[in-house]
Amino acid sequence: MLFKNHGDESDNPTPKLNDILSQTQINSVLYSDPFVKAGFISKLVSEAKTSVLYLDLDLLYSGYVVSGMIPAQDNLTLYRPSEDTIGEILTEILVKASTSQVTVVIDSINGLFNMLHHKKDVGKVVASVIVLIASITRLTKSYIVISSMARYKKEEGWVLSPTGKRFIETKNSKKILLEQGKEGIIVNSLGRFKQTSAAGKLYSYLIKSLDYVISKLCFYNIGNLTLFQGKCSFFKFLYHGAPSKKAQVSASFL
């Protein structure tokens, strides 16, 4: 695997996780070849010094692990959600990410859109999910990696492939492009997104509100349920009208 910075001809033939990923930004991994993405994720998991919480919505990587083609790692917790379990799984990921430093992998945005396609304003729901996870990972200085099968269009910028939906772009993301080279996978760090879409503007606004949200959030337990407690209108908005003092992260949110 090669590591290249956009506009920099120097290569690091043996990049490490810390060379590629940012702890202060959402690491947005773009790819056109799913098998190249699977190779990158495999290397990421094997080199991670933290526990890896892997939400596999495309089922490619988990298929390799289950079949034995990719060795299972002791630090890996693999989630393969359905429409019925996605809320419960997201709750578990949020709880774990709030109590220790982890690496959260969402693979992929395309799969998340597909799983939540029945929701009204699915773009807003997906953006809210990402913002919530990003806010929690910031608390514990964890990594968040989100993969997207995408292509670049001159007039529109990055769009999801093959649906053509506008990509959720934000200044708070580090864009990483995966390509297949003669010597292996080339990892291009393309810098920050240019904010072009309405969804991106909403996403950026939500990110800017995170510091205030974080200062007002805490976890508490009731029975086997883990709930959030918050005191701000933004938190209420995030949950689409749920009571601001008690909003459960559950399937009802999704």
User: Alpha helix (H) ranges present in the chain?
Assistant: 17-20, 34-47, 60-67, 86-99, 109-115, 122-139, 198-208, 210-216, 233-238
pLDDT, average across residues 137-155: 81
The full DSSP string for 200-226 is HHHHHHHHHTHHHHHHH-EEEEETTEE
Q: Is the model's pLDDT at 4 over the cut of 80?
A: no
Residue 27: its pLDDT value, please? 92
Residue 239: its pLDDT value, please? 36
3 or 39, greater pLDDT: 39
Residue 20: its pLDDT value, please? 80
Radius of gyration, CA atoms only, the chain: 18
24 or 209, greater pLDDT: 24
The pLDDT tens digits for 157-168 are: 545 554 444 445
Residue 191: its pLDDT value, please? 55
| The pair of three-digit structure tokens given for residue 5, joined into one six-digit string | 């910075």
pLDDT, average across residues 142-153: 81
Residue 232's pLDDT band (cuts 50, 70, 90): very low
What is the pTM assigned to this prediction? 0.71
Q: Are 116 and 110 in contact (CB under 8 A)?
A: no
Residue 173's pLDDT band (cuts 50, 70, 90): confident
Residue 15: its pLDDT value, please? 60
User: Of 188, 184, 189, 190, which Cα lies nearest the Cα of 1?
Assistant: 184
User: Of 129, 164, 135, 179, which Cα lies nearest the Cα of 6?
Assistant: 179
Q: Is the model's pLDDT at 226 over the cut of 90?
A: no
Residue 152: its pLDDT value, please? 59
Helix or strand or coil: residue 172? coil
Domain 2-216: CATH architecture, name and number where available: 3-Layer(aba) Sandwich (3.40)
Kindly list the domain boundaries of the chain, sorted by start residue: 2-216
The pLDDT tens digits for 62-105 are: 999 999 999 889 999 999 999 889 988 998 999 899 999 999 99
CB atoms within 10 A of CB 230: 22
